């Protein structure tokens, strides 16, 4: 049997798809590169913004036509599956099985049932995917591995649907995580990326290792050379965690810390739990501990109540803090999320205009920061051949910046020093020093 997984959404979903890959291949299923060639098609979905949902439904349109012509088994997993659990069969009658994000480990059962013409649907929320993380070393190169340390979210930011589709926070036992990391390092993994909606609140209230203690323990592992984590919530970024930067030598100088808005009024409406000043203080503290830390962030424009003053405050924050990069979005009202009831006087045009302005300003800052790296030498984990040219290799600095440089293929998998000769908006060009 041949299968194809189409993944939408965040790293959580990317990793869930890796887990399904692992389970399917364990049962002899063969991955193919084209949807058309597959007998089984799994769509792992995201509903964080309306656009993500639209992409899903248009993809499903294509699958419907394919199924009508060739007969295929089609499954929908992930966040839209959870959101539409009561309506999925009605909206998409040609779907054979559907699994919420907590049930993806039942993928092979679901397909077996579908092969026997029995629909399989499971959206229970207390499931886990026990013990399959360790086998899911990052598809691309075997050097980097994601590992889920917690799932769900208790924050209920007023714009966000994630708590409604991923459920409440549950942390995995540190023993299980550490066992998996040991197996990963035995298999040649050099970089570990700890995953969760809000990794800073790992084991909050539990009698187990705290997040900084978990980092400290991983830092002692032989073979592991880099540790990263995603995503962090500013309100839970504790002084203890900040102190880990610059102290734990394997913890990379990089953090993704979404601020969402630069106005206290909007942050309150978003239910974010911090003020602009508190956010700035955390960044200042991070940079004091670790002066070369790269900081990226997320930001939403066009949130209800965002007048010109509020947007200007967001722009001031961006100019003041000079992030290495920002993922910016126009606010998209989501079912269940509290803000979907707020009247919004920001027009779509206005929001798009703000987004374009923000992105132009940020792009200049990103380029400035990347150019400041020119002439300096950085350690790069060489991850593979570059997409652009056969003679080039690609890798990342500890600050998570992509570097392309000329080099021999036998360098793939190594840590090597690369001198940066040019900084662009999305990558750096380097050469062997």
Instruction: Please answer whether residues 153 and 198 qualify as being in contact, where contact means their C-beta atoms are separated by less than 8 angstroms.
Output: yes
Smaller CB separation from ligand SF4, 257 or 295: 257
Residue 369: CB minimum distance to ligand SF4, A: 25
Exposure string (b/e) for 117-146, b if CB count within 10 Å is 16 or more?
eeebbbbeeebebeebbbbbbbeebebbbb
Smaller CB separation from ligand SF4, 162 or 403: 162
Q: Does residue number 166 form part of the binding site for ligand F3S (CB under 6 A)?
A: yes
Stretch that binds ligand F3S, among 9-17, 18-26, 294-302, 349-357 (CB under 6 A): 9-17
Q: Does residue number 346 form part of the binding site for ligand F3S (CB under 6 A)?
A: no
Full DSSP string of 240-284 = HHHHHTTTSTTB-SEEE---B-S-HHHHHHTT-S--HHHHHHHHH
HEC string of 369-424 equals HHHCCCCCEEEEEEEEECCCCCCEEEEEECCCCEEEEECCHHHCCCEEEEEEEEEC
Stretch that binds ligand F3S, among 5-13, 108-116, 210-218, 354-362 (CB under 6 A): 5-13
Instruction: Give the CB-nearest residue to ligand F3S.
Output: 9
In the window 144-173, what residues touch ligand SF4 (CB under 6 A)?
153, 155-157, 160, 162-163
Phi, psi for 55 (deg, rounded to 5)? -60, -40
Instruction: Please answer whether residues 287 and 280 qualify as being in contact, where contact means their C-beta atoms are separated by less than 8 angstroms.
Output: no
Q: Which does 13 bind (CB under 5 to 8 A by kind): ligand SF4, ligand SAH, ligand F3S, none?
A: ligand F3S
Smaller CB separation from ligand SF4, 70 or 336: 336
Smaller CB separation from ligand F3S, 129 or 282: 129
Indicate left, alpha or beta for 379 from its phi (over 0: left) and psi (-120 to 50: alpha): beta
Q: Does residue number 321 form part of the binding site for ligand SF4 (CB under 6 A)?
A: no
Beta bridge partners of 174: none
Instruction: Give me the half-sphere count of Cα atoms (radius 13 Å) on the Cβ side of residue 389.
Output: 10
Instruction: Give the CB-nearest residue to ligand SAH.
Output: 298
In the window 198-257, what residues touch ligand SF4 (CB under 6 A)?
198, 233
Candidates 46, 44, 43, 47; CA nearest to 9 is 46
For ligand F3S, the binding residue among 9, 100, 262, 302 (CB under 6 A) is 9
Q: Does residue number 46 form part of the binding site for ligand F3S (CB under 6 A)?
A: yes
Instruction: Please answer whether residues 318 and 358 qualify as being in contact, where contact means their C-beta atoms are separated by less than 8 angstroms.
Output: yes
Q: Which does 404 bind (CB under 5 to 8 A by kind): ligand SAH, ligand F3S, ligand SF4, none?
A: none
Instruction: Please answer whether residues 17 and 43 qualify as being in contact, where contact means their C-beta atoms are separated by less than 8 angstroms.
Output: no
CA distances from 328 to 85, 106, 179 (A): 29, 35, 37
Task: Name the token pair of 65.
Answer: 């036509």
Q: Which does 79 bind (CB under 5 to 8 A by kind): ligand SAH, ligand F3S, ligand SF4, none?
A: ligand F3S
Q: Does residue number 79 form part of the binding site for ligand F3S (CB under 6 A)?
A: yes
Smaller CB separation from ligand SAH, 49 or 144: 49
- Applying CB under 6 A, the residues found at the interface with ligand SAH are 48-49, 159-160, 162, 197-198, 231, 233, 258, 260, 298, 300, 329, 331-332, 334
Q: Which does 134 bind (CB under 5 to 8 A by kind): ligand SAH, ligand F3S, ligand SF4, none?
A: none
Name, in order, each residue with C-beta under 8 angstroms of 260's C-beta and a sequence gap of 6 or more: 157, 266, 267, 270, 272, 298, 299, 300
Q: Which does 300 bind (CB under 5 to 8 A by kind): ligand SAH, ligand SF4, ligand F3S, none?
A: ligand SAH
Name the site residues for ligand SF4 (rule: CB under 6 A).
153, 155-157, 160, 162-163, 197-198, 233
Name the site residues for ligand F3S (rule: CB under 6 A).
9-10, 12-13, 46-48, 78-79, 162, 165-166
């Amino acid at each position: 049997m041949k299968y194809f997984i189409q993944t939408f959404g965040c790293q959580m979903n990317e990793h869930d798809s890796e887990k399904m890959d692992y389970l399917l291949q364990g049962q002899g299923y063969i991955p193919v590169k084209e949807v058309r060639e597959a007998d089984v098609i799994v769509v792992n979905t995201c509903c964080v913004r309306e656009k993500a949902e639209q992409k899903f439904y248009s993809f499903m349109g294509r699958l419907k036509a394919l199924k009508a012509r060739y007969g295929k088994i089609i499954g929908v997993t992930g966040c839209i599956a959870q959101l539409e659990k009561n309506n999925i069969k009605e909206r998409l009658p040609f779907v054979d099985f559907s699994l919420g994000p907590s049930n993806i480990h039942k993928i092979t059962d679901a397909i077996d049932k579908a092969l026997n013409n029995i629909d399989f649907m499971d959206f229970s929320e207390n499931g886990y995917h026990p013990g399959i993380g360790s086998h899911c070393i990052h598809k691309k190169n075997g050097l980097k591995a994601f590992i889920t340390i917690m799932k769900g979210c208790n924050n209920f930011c007023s714009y966000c649907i994630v708590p409604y589709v991923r459920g409440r926070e549950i942390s995995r036992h540190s023993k299980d995580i550490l066992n998996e990391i040991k197996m990963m390092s035995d298999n040649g993994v050099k970089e570990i990326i700890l995953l969760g909606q809000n990794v800073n609140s790992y084991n909050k209230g539990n009698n187990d290792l705290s997040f900084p203690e978990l980092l400290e323990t991983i830092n002692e592992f032989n073979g592991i050379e880099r540790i990263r984590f995603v995503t962090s919530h500013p309100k839970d970024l504790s002084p203890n965690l900040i102190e880990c930067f610059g102290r734990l030598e394997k913890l990379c100088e990089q953090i993704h810390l979404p601020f969402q808005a630069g106005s206290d009024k909007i942050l309150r409406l978003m239910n974010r739990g911090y003020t602009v000043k508190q956010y700035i203080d955390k960044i200042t503290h991070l940079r004091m501990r670790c002066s070369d830390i790269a900081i990226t962030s997320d930001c939403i424009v066009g949130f209800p109540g965002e007048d010109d003053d509020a947007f200007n405050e967001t722009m001031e924050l961006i100019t003041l803090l000079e992030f290495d990069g920002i993922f910016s979005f126009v606010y998209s009202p989501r079912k269940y999320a509290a803000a979907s009831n707020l009247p919004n006087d920001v027009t779509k045009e206005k929001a798009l205009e703000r987004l374009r302005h923000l992105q132009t300003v940020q792009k200049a800052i990103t380029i400035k920061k990347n150019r400041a790296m020119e002439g300096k030498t950085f350690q790069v984990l060489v991850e593979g051949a570059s997409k652009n040219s056969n003679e080039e290799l690609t890798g990342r600095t500890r600050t998570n910046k992509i570097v392309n440089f000329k080099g021999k293929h036998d360098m793939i998998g190594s840590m090597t020093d690369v001198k940066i000769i040019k900084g662009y908006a999305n990558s750096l060009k380097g050469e062997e020093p």
